[in-house]
Amino acid sequence: MAANPARFGQVAETIVGADATAMAIDSAQRIDRLVADPAVAAATLLFPEETTLEDLVNVALALGGQPGWHVTRTTLAGTSIGDAVAFGMVRDIPFQGAQCPSEALVLGPFDEFPETRRAPVTVLEIFVGVPPAHTPSGAPRTKANLADVDVAPVAAGVFQSMWRNSVIGRRRSLNGVEDGRAKAKVAFVVPMTLATSLGCAP
């Protein structure tokens, strides 16, 4: 997808500013517009000025107050960074006449993030298209995420091979250890000590 974003309906936009609430409102409005655009399947918001986990937490909490967004916090005990707070971020998207939660992922230049979530700049990615009725594994749809981007015209056998290689590559990036910080339902994590100091521990 990254090599040819237009082919897969990916749109990237940049959010700048210093006020978390203003950035959250701007982000929510941009995602609203992209959800409504049938040509867009995946939205990527870049936050080049968000350089600390505190900045990220403040924007995430403010985004949770925007219509259609839900931000949760749960405890992850005993991770490689010690006890942590996992932020879940979803935005409701249309699905079969109702709503379906689409899970957002956050990547960034933070040592506290697992290898699969490292990036040179802070980024929020989210599926905003129309999800298929079933997940890639064949289960009935209850939520959406970036795995739902349509990679057609890739043949079914090629897709299955890509899916297996993705699973293997993820496992290799995590050194063969199942890391709760890298689950699809986890947008990002912060150390419990930081969350406590910011007053956002669960």
**Residue numbers of the domain that contains 96:** 5-198
More confident residue, 85 or 142: 85
Structure confidence at residue 37 (pLDDT): 96
Number of domains the chain contains: 1
Residue 198: pLDDT band with limits 50, 70, 90: very high
User: Which of 59-68, 89-98, 147-156, 169-178 tops mean pLDDT?
Assistant: 59-68
Asked whether 118 and 108 are in contact (CB, 8 A), the reply is yes
Name the pTM for this structure.
0.84
**Greater confidence, 118 or 160?**
118
Q: Return the closest-CA partner of residue 150 out of 167, 171, 128, 165.
A: 128
Give the range among 38-52, 83-97, 127-141, 167-181 with minimum mean pLDDT: 167-181
Residue-level pLDDT at 58 = 97
pLDDT digits (tens, 9 = 90+) for 142-194: 899 888 887 665 656 665 665 565 555 555 555 556 677 778 789 999 999 99
| 103 contacts 143 by C-beta, under 8 angstroms | yes
pLDDT of residue 175: 58
